[in-house]
A = this chain, B = another copy of it.
């Protein structure tokens, strides 16, 4: 295939759909850089996506998420499935944040055309990372990957939200991480479809499992973030089929460095995938994903258009008024909007 074919939108799309990895990498670069090709590429690829199963894997630093992702990818490959990995985790070896040992450990994946690894920068404008990640997920989906894994560090608000937009969210725990890190976890428990207690050969692993079990028995099994996302746009949510049994997040013990528990974790993910299809929850999650994307895109596009219409002279004046406290930012924003749509 000639390289010049990859210099047009049509050429990129057909090469990407034919499995050309260079076309895939170049398409993702266009999207990340928001080049002139980005919108037409996304529009052309969007109808081809929708088949992949999307996993979010999140957890505190030090839980061994990346090694687990590595193990899962290998296990999927052994079952003949292709895997795309997106690391939005500054601690991940996939995104360049780790040591030589970790990089060596992932080298076996790097040479396999059935695995594609991409890291996303965690810097950038507010909200930009979430949508950029969603766009790359969609691109990998259109490119035909069977499973797409998004790895995020389970600490920041944005990072947790990104993982929670997956079909199946795996929260990784590990015993003995210290109190500060334990405290971080509190907020991410509610988004879990599956718990992996990694480093299960360490002291305290059973206590971690016990604590999770107690927490699950105390709380409702229904995921809270569904309700949270449900408020994002005023849409009607499909009713749950009345005869469907609620999903109770399983707890899987793993020792990722020794490949132990990986197959059990993969089986839990696949069981959840079937559950989503049979219960109708997959449809619900697709709606939530669409709603989240629309919100972010609308917000940013509206702002961009208002700023353009208002012009830099007027905006400068408004900023000056806010800095000198002659107008508060809410009133100033209201006035700009009233002028915008009049």
Task: Give me the interface of A with B, judged by CB distance under 8 Å.
Answer: 39, 42-43, 46-47, 49-50, 60-62, 90-91, 97-99, 122-127, 129-130, 153, 155-161, 178-181, 183-184, 186-187, 228, 232-236, 283, 286-287, 290-291, 293-303, 305-307, 312, 315-316, 318-319, 322-323, 325-334, 336-337, 340-341
Which of B46, B91, B158, B293 is close to A157, meaning CB atoms less than 8 Å apart?
B158
Cβ B305 vs Cβ A337 within 8 A: yes
Closest 9 CB pairs of A and B: A156-B156, A46-B328, A97-B183, A302-B302, A290-B322, A155-B155, A61-B180, A234-B312, A297-B333
| Known A-B contacts A294-B329, A328-B43, A329-B293; A315 and B61 likewise in contact (beta carbons under 8 Å) | no
When chains A and B are docked, how far (Å) is the Cα of A318 from the Cα of B235? 10
Tell me which residues across on chain B come within 8 A of A126, comparing CB atoms: 126-127, 130, 157-158, 161, 295-296
Residues of B contacting A158 with CB < 8 Å?
Answer: 126, 156-158
Could you tell me the distance in whole angstroms from the C-beta of A327 to the nearest C-beta in chain B?
Answer: 8
Q: Nearest Cβ in chain B — how far from A153, in angstroms?
A: 6
15 residue pairs bridging A and B, Cβ less than 8 Å apart: A39-B330, A46-B325, A46-B327, A60-B61, A97-B184, A98-B179, A233-B315, A236-B312, A236-B316, A290-B322, A293-B329, A298-B336, A299-B303, A301-B337, A302-B340
Alpha-carbon distance between A325 and B287 when the two chains are bound, in angstroms? 11
A60 partner residues in chain B, CB cutoff 8 A: 61
The residue in A153, A155, A296 that gathers the most chain B C-beta atoms within 10 A of its C-beta is A155
> For A319, what are the chain B residues with a Cβ–Cβ distance below 8 Å?
233, 235, 287, 290-291, 294
The distance in angstroms between the C-alpha atoms of A296 and B300, with both chains bound, is: 10
Contact of A179 among B99, B122, B286, B305 (CB under 8 A): B99
> Which residues of B sit under 8 angstroms from A296, Cβ to Cβ?
126
The answer to whether A157 touches B122 (Cβ under 8 A) is yes
CB distance from A10 to the nearest CB of B (A): 16
Bound form: Cα–Cα A317–B279 in Å: 23
Residues of B within 8 A of A122 (CB): 157, 187
Interface pair A62/B178, CB less than 8 Å apart: yes
CA distance A235 to B187 in the complex (A): 38
CA gap between A47 and B326 in the complex, in Å:
7
Residues B325 and A50 in contact, CB atoms below 8 Å apart: yes
The answer to whether B333 and A186 have CB atoms under 8 Å apart is no
